[in-house]
Amino acid sequence: MIAIIDYGVGNLRSVEKAFIAIGADAVLTNDINTIKNAQAIVLPGVGAFEDGMESLKKLGLIEVILEAISRKTPFLGICLGMQLLLEVGDESNEAIVNKTKSNLIDGMAVIKGSVKRFPNIAGLKIPQMGWNTVSYRIGSRLFEGIEQNQFFYFVHSYYCELESEAEVAGLTEYGVLYHSALEVDNIFATQFHPEKSGELGLKVLKNFVAIATAHSKEEKKC
């Protein structure tokens, strides 16, 4: 069973429906025991970095997530779920006219790196909302069977900057060239929304389910 973490951030039902559409046994939940016993975990979400962290804290889910990741449970972060894996989010206050101040919010620090706001460039609409291409790392398990530079659906005002290039699984350009997917050990994440990206997005989810299934079979052998 795949546990899709419900922490009240964004339209999470669409993620659940996408997994069900590909035949996966998936449930939307914030029950700690259900998440602990899951074959794999998905952390979706849209919205503010700080709100996401606060919601996870209130539900007591941060330790649950960290423990599951340390046990090598396959984990997939989507959009905000990818950003929350990083060390810090730079959430500039929209009400501050001079834009010189920022609030640095601690993330879960699973992956070294930070979340930054897209630069103010003439003609660059923020948030990025719509289709954009992803150039992925050769050998990526998450993008297996997908051609390079295909279009996926994005909705975000902030982007991830990972410290280690070895953990970067995908690159996308929008004003800056940024890290749009990560992959290290049992941890996977995409800045784009696979559940909103048509057949290619479903293929990404199928690849994750295959990874989780293979992991489960290996565990049973032990």
- Distance, in Å, from the CA atom of 20 to the CA atom of 14, rounded to the nearest integer, reads 10
Q: What does the alpha-carbon distance between residue 42 and residue 80 come to, in Å, rounded to a whole number?
A: 11
Taking Cα atoms as reference points, which of 196, 200, 208 lies closest to residue 76?
A: 208
For 134-154, what is each residue's pLDDT tens digit?
A: 999 999 999 999 999 999 999
Backbone angles phi, psi at 161, to 5 degrees: -125, 105
Annotated catalytic residue 160 = no
Residue 94 pLDDT class (50, 70, 90 cuts): very low
**Domain region containing 36:** 2-96+103-221
Instruction: Identify the CATH number of the domain in which residue 186 sits.
Output: 3.40.50.880
Q: Any catalytic annotation for residue 195?
A: yes
Is 67 in the active site? no
Label residue 191 left, alpha or beta by phi (over 0 means left) and psi (-120 to 50 means alpha). Answer: alpha
Q: What is the pLDDT of residues 29-56, one digit of tens each?
A: 999 999 999 999 999 999 899 999 999 9
- 16, 79, 160, 179: the catalytic one is 79
The count of domains in the chain is: 1
